[in-house]
Amino acid sequence: MDNKYKILYDDGDRKYVMFSFDDETHEESFLSVNQYLIIENGEGLLIDPGSESIFDELYEGISELIEVSQIKYIFLSHQDPDVSGSIAQWAVTTQAKFLMSGLWVRFMSHYGFSEMSRVVQIPDKGAKLTLGSHTIRFIPAHFLHSPGNFSLYDVKSKILFSGDIGAAVVSSLGGEKKVREFEEHIKALEGFHKRYMGSNKLCRAWVQRVEKLDVRKIAPQHGYVFEDENVVKFLEWFKELACGSDFLEELY
Amino acid sequence: MNFVKELQVIAKHFDVLYVEDNEALRTKAKTLLEKFFGSVATASDGQIGLEMFKNRHYPIVITDIKMPHMDGLTLSAHIKKIQPETKIIIMSAFDDKELLFKGIELGIFRFLTKPVNITEFTEVLYKAIGEIKHEQNTKMFYSYLKNIFNYQSSMVVMLHEKDMVLANDIFLEFFGFECINECKKSLRDIGEHFLEHDGFLYNKDIDAVMTLISNPQKLFHIKMKAKDESLHHFILKYQTIPEKEGYGILSFDDVTELNLLELFDAKQSKEDTKATNTKAVYNLLGVIQRNSAKVDIHNYYKGLSITNSGIITEVKEESILLKTSYIQLKSIQLEEKTYICSSALPQVILANEVVKISFEKQELELKLLSFVNTSPIDRATIRVVPTQKQSVSLFLGENKFHGDIEIEDISLDGVRLKLGALPAGLDRESEIRLDMVLELDKKPLIINTSAKMLRKSESKHSFSIVFLFEDLKKSTLVKYITKRQMELIREIKGMQNG
């Protein structure tokens, strides 16, 4: 990959970096995977670092920006392997604290992780965290799709790191990784969201929380970043989305 | 719903004032209202109505708008000033938006358009009484609660979500507040008043109040400053209120007199005073046991961190009994010691002797308890014990060490070796070369690196020396350590499954 990372925001004091290392081997159904890093004063918060198979690449990519040992927090939006699969590797290479829903702490041993004292459990209703001079909020996103799931909102950059919400099935190769035409992009969103998200009621609850925040960008864990008017369009679309249990009869 | 019947039941104990200048209407309405209410008073204009209200505060007032001397809205404004809870129902022949807005501003309960439909009228009255009853209940609930709160000898606060609802007098007194409203205004986030102190709860990683709410029954230490600037040490507990979602009680136990503040902050106290503090250990464990709070029990299995919660079932003179999981008991049995952690403890407790373990009852007895300053829980790096398929050669300059040597544990930063003898001339400055062969995915993993000695310790028949790696490419070792952790997790879980 030529461009190891893309800068989402940089005001001199803080830098928000997007990596896109893929671990998919099925050429027909590429699901591009994004990892994010917030850097302030040489210290980092890593968001959804991904699976074990991309650990080496991501480690190398981060090393070009900061000392990996300076990662203070690692946020895991939920328990999936493409989000948390490398937890044991990060536990060995950093002294970071792991922020996640309490629902998944015990499951982490399946990824070879047993440092329970390094886990900070995020309460169901969310919490805030101070990183250097800025505030980060954890927004409940339960059942969208994981039962214990959070989005991360950064007050300074106004970026909402949304995990699987807003994820799109798109090719990971090249490109600027930004949604151009929302209406066109819906095709890549629809299938995934209809099947993976819990129900429209949950979508609405999440949108209601998010609408109270000043969001400039939505950065999902798969696919492209939503910017400016596409943020509004996405929220409108997601609020009206019938999904999951809304199609109960088709599923059972 | 038949409001006529319902109203007959609930309105009996209520009085009502009816203000209307039209005599025929007044008489008719009085007859109707008397079927429901305990007593019905009438007035022929706003002025008379107000005088009557001043003498007796009717919970419900029904009034016309246009009347001589004083109109219904002016009357309502006066009544609301005297007794804001009064439910005022306005009946008017005019469907005037302006009047409606004024009425809303005044907090009028309902508007009814004349001629009034009986069903609608009884429904509005029924709802007004329902609301009065609800308000009375809430008032009563809070006044009972306030009594209960003030009966407490320690500070107590009631929260709804993160916001303060009630606080007892001792709490208000502590901060020097006159009343609860003043307190609510000044103390928006009570967590901001928890001062930073090692091992204490304050707004650190996650806001303190959120931590409290998510951990009901758990004990926390906090430090707060009183109005006279003195520092107080409290043990704090959050309890949810059954059937009152979102509500909870914070209780503060002032333990300043125990002089534990210094003990918590490692920098401020000396090693020896801690060592002799065994009494404090047992006292604190007693507090934890009485509150049925959980503790974390910590062990290492070949370097793998094993942590499970436990419950102290008994605190004896020189030992404690506690219950914990099978895996934890197994690791304690292997390690022959354990570490007990809790946010209620100033430091980690090391239990250095296992008296007995019952796997059947999932219980064990521990003794030789003491606070420890450094514990493996604070380990910065993950260390694992490699498999037996390992070999290591140590070169001191050009000379190979020929004695017995094996790897005790290995991390990304260094390795602990067990040596049968001490290599001649080895010191912190020595140039060391280590050639190690481990096994990864059934293939040999070769690690060659230069190293420096960090520290050495001596036991009966061997030496244990920690070397720090100097020029190691870490990526292969990351793979080895994480794979080894996974193996160890399987190994210990395997013990549980028989």
Residues B370 and B311 in one domain: yes
pLDDT in tens, chain A (252 residues): 446 789 999 988 899 999 988 765 555 555 678 999 999 988 999 999 999 888 989 999 999 999 888 999 999 999 999 999 999 999 988 989 999 999 999 899 899 898 888 899 999 999 999 887 788 999 999 999 999 999 999 999 999 999 999 999 887 666 778 999 999 999 999 999 999 999 999 999 999 999 999 999 999 999 999 999 999 999 999 999 999 999 999 989
With CA atoms as reference, the chain A residue closest to B301 would be A114
Give me the pLDDT at residue A1, please.
44
Sorted by sequence, the CB contacts under 8 Å of residue B22 that are 6+ apart come out as B64
Select the residue of B203, B207, B305 nearest A116 (Cβ to Cβ): B305
pLDDT digits (tens, 9 = 90+) for B405-451: 999 999 999 999 999 988 888 888 899 999 999 998 889 999 999 99
- Is residue B222 in a domain? yes
73-92 in chain A: CB under 8 A from chain B: 88-89, 91-92
- Is residue B446 in a domain? yes
Residues B410 and B359 in one domain: no
Residues B252 and B276 in one domain: no
pLDDT digits (tens, 9 = 90+) for B44-77: 999 999 999 999 999 999 999 989 999 999 999 9
Sorted by sequence, the CB contacts under 8 Å of residue A86 that are 6+ apart come out as A49, A50, A51, A52, A54, A55, A58, A111
Domain boundary among B348, B378, B408: B378
Look at A117 and B485 and tell me if their CB atoms are within 8 Å. Answer: no
Sorted by sequence, the CB contacts under 8 Å of residue B170 that are 6+ apart come out as B150, B152, B153, B154, B155, B156
Residue B469 has pLDDT above 80, yes or no: yes
Give me the pLDDT at residue B169, please.
86
| ipTM for this prediction | 0.77
Range of the domain at A226: 5-251
pLDDT digits (tens, 9 = 90+) for B154-168: 898 988 888 888 888
Neighbouring C-beta atoms of residue B120, cutoff 10 Å: 13
Torsion of Cα atoms, B373 then B375 then B378 then B381, to 10°: 140
Using CA atoms, how far apart are residues B296 and B343, in angstroms rounded to an integer? Answer: 9
Higher pLDDT, B209 or A149: A149
Domain boundary among B226, B257, B288: B257
Residue with structure tokens 């309105």? Answer: B11
The C-alpha R_g of chain A, in whole angstroms, comes to: 17
Q: What is the mean pLDDT of residues B15-43?
A: 92
Look at A115 and B305 and tell me if their CB atoms are within 8 Å. Answer: yes
Residues B119 and B9 in one domain: yes
Residue B498 has pLDDT above 70, yes or no: no
Q: DSSP string spanning B31-98?
A: HHHHTTSSEEEEESSHHHHHHHHHHS--SEEEEESS-SSS-HHHHHHHHHHH-TT-EEEEEES---HH
Q: What is the mean pLDDT of residues B293-313?
A: 91
Range of the domain at B404: 391-491
Using CA atoms, how far apart are residues B416 and B430, in angstroms rounded to an integer? Answer: 16
Look at A127 and B298 and tell me if their CB atoms are within 8 Å. Answer: no
- Is residue B306 in a domain? yes
Residue B269 has pLDDT above 50, yes or no: no
- Is residue B264 in a domain? no
- Is residue B142 in a domain? no
Nearest to B248 by CA among B258, B237, B259, B256: B237
Residues B20 and B46 in one domain: yes
Select the residue of A52, A117, A122 nearest B307 (Cβ to Cβ): A117
Mind telling me how many Å the CA of A180 is from chain B's nearest CA? 37
Select the residue of B206, B213, B305 nearest A129 (Cβ to Cβ): B206
- Is residue B386 in a domain? no
CA angle A8, A44, A69 (to 5 degrees): 140
What residues of A are in contact with residue B207 (Cβ under 8 Å)?
127-128
Q: How many helices (H) and strands (E) does chain A have?
A: 7, 13
Residues B364 and B247 in one domain: no
Mind telling me how many Å the CA of A171 is from chain B's nearest CA? 29
Q: Residue B98: which CATH number?
A: 3.40.50.2300
Give me the pLDDT at residue B272, please.
42
Select the residue of A113, A116, A120 nearest B205 (Cβ to Cβ): A120
Give me the pLDDT at residue A30, please.
57
- Angstrom CA distances, B218 to A84, A244, B297, stand at 28, 37, 15
Residues B28 and B94 in one domain: yes
Q: DSSP string spanning A111-142?
A: GT---GGGEEEEPTT-EEEEETTEEEEEEE-T
* Residue B303, token pair as written in the block: 């370097």
Sorted by sequence, the CB contacts under 8 Å of residue A113 that are 6+ apart come out as A87, A88, A91, B485
Residues B48 and B108 in one domain: yes
* Residue B316, token pair as written in the block: 């004896």
Q: Residue B305: which CATH number?
A: 2.40.10.10
pLDDT digits (tens, 9 = 90+) for B105-159: 888 999 888 888 888 898 999 999 989 988 888 887 777 777 777 777 789 898 8
Residues B38 and B123 in one domain: yes
Residues B297 and B373 in one domain: yes
A135 in reach of chain B (CB within 8 A): no
Give me the pLDDT at residue B471, please.
85
The pLDDT mean for chain B works out to: 87
- Is residue B245 in a domain? yes
Number of domains in chain B: 4
Residues B89 and B13 in one domain: yes
Domain boundary among B336, B354, B378: B378
What residues of A are in contact with residue B381 (Cβ under 8 Å)?
92, 95
Number of domains in chain A: 1
- Is residue B110 in a domain? yes
Residues B9 and B111 in one domain: yes
- Angstrom CA distances, A237 to A139, A212, A241, B257, stand at 19, 17, 6, 60
Which of B345, B482, B488, B491 to probe the A interface (max A CBs under 10 A)?
B482
What residues of A are in contact with residue B298 (Cβ under 8 Å)?
117
Q: Residue A135: which CATH number?
A: 3.60.15.10
Give me the pLDDT at residue B86, please.
94
Contact B426, B433 (CB under 8 A): no
Residue B275 has pLDDT above 50, yes or no: no
